[in-house]
Amino acid sequence: MLKIGELEFCDKPVFLAPMEDVTDPSFRYMCKKFGADLMFTEFISSDGLIRDAKKSVKKLDIFDYERPVGIQIYGHIPEAMQQASLMINENANPDLLDINYGCPVKKIANRGAGSGMMRNLPLMKEITELVVKTSKFPVTAKTRLGWDSDSLNVEEVALLLQDCGIQALTIHGRTRTQMYKGEADWTLIGKVKENQNIKIPIIGNGDITDAQNAYDKFNKYGVDAIMIGRAAIGKPWIFAEVKHFLNTGKHLPGPGVIERVEYAKEHLQKSLEYKEDKKGIYEMRRHFALYFKAIPDFKETRLKLLTAQTSEEILEILNFIQDKFGQYDSNFFENLNEHNK
């Protein structure tokens, strides 16, 4: 059984990765519905939080049905990171606090935050020690293999962060310069896990796209948990599929079009409950595009779905999808997945 602080998880737990503009409460609601064992907010700028920026403060919203849930922060100024931690202590009640040392986005990494911190380990140490000292919640971190292929320093980083007091580490199997391109390399993730000096849980992340892949990663690399990111967008039921396969060795049939429409409606409803109407609709588009991916002769309908301006229009289109494409059941998508392997 995996423990992070006082949190206890089942054997081989499956977590939802923090993703900017994706892991808002409506998406987390859907992932929890399908069994995600731990979820994270979108990452929050420490600078934005201490300036009381509306967008940053809004991201602190978490709900009891989501638990356990973590809040993730990033930044490169020690005092700001410490102050952000204090604000979270006072204004939110997460189950843990995660530090982002993995974001590869240029405007963040090039100023030394996110994965940029992997080029400044003294600063990483200072920030981590301050956050651990300040936080009343367990502190974890998420990082990458290194800045580039010539500086794969994740083992050194893991030992440093452990010494600073973090209670679990997530490793994304790419360097910063790779961004999200190429194939994730889990070899170094496994090497960190095998290091006898590493006592904290190691969570593997990168290219977990289906149940078999998740099973293979657990068995080959011995990680304590896996974290799913982009593969869950438009497919929140991936958590149910992975957990079912891990527990039974059998594949759980995915939803057909009729079920996908119902999930899309539920997701839309939650998005509109949490956000302004236009913003809720706009931010659902990336999900809609993937809920119905690979349906034949769908281009015209997809365009209408992704350009609809009101919830009434969207619901009308979703009902149309259910009526016109409802014959595409779980077997269709299962055969499509097999064909694409």
Catalytically active residues, by annotation: 103
Q: In the chain, at which residue ranges do the beta strands (DSSP E only) sit? A: 2-4, 7-9, 14-16, 39-40, 44-45, 69-74, 96-101, 139-144, 169-172, 202-205, 225-228
| CA atoms of 141 and 217, how far apart (whole Å) | 20
**Residue partners of 230: CB distance under 8 A and separation at least 6:** 19, 180
Q: Output the six-digit token pair for 185.
A: 């390399």
DSSP 2: E
Burial of 131 (0-12, 13-18, 19+ CB in 10 A): buried
Q: Are 98 and 69 in contact (CB under 8 A)?
A: no
* CA-angle at 14, arms to 169 and 255, nearest 5°: 150
**Residue partners of 125: CB distance under 8 A and separation at least 6:** 160, 164
| CA atoms of 267 and 160, how far apart (whole Å) | 40
| CA atoms of 79 and 90, how far apart (whole Å) | 17
DSSP line for 240-301? HHHHHHHHHSSPPPPP-HHHHHHHHHHHHHHHHHHS-HHHHHHHHHHHHHHHTTT-TT-HHH
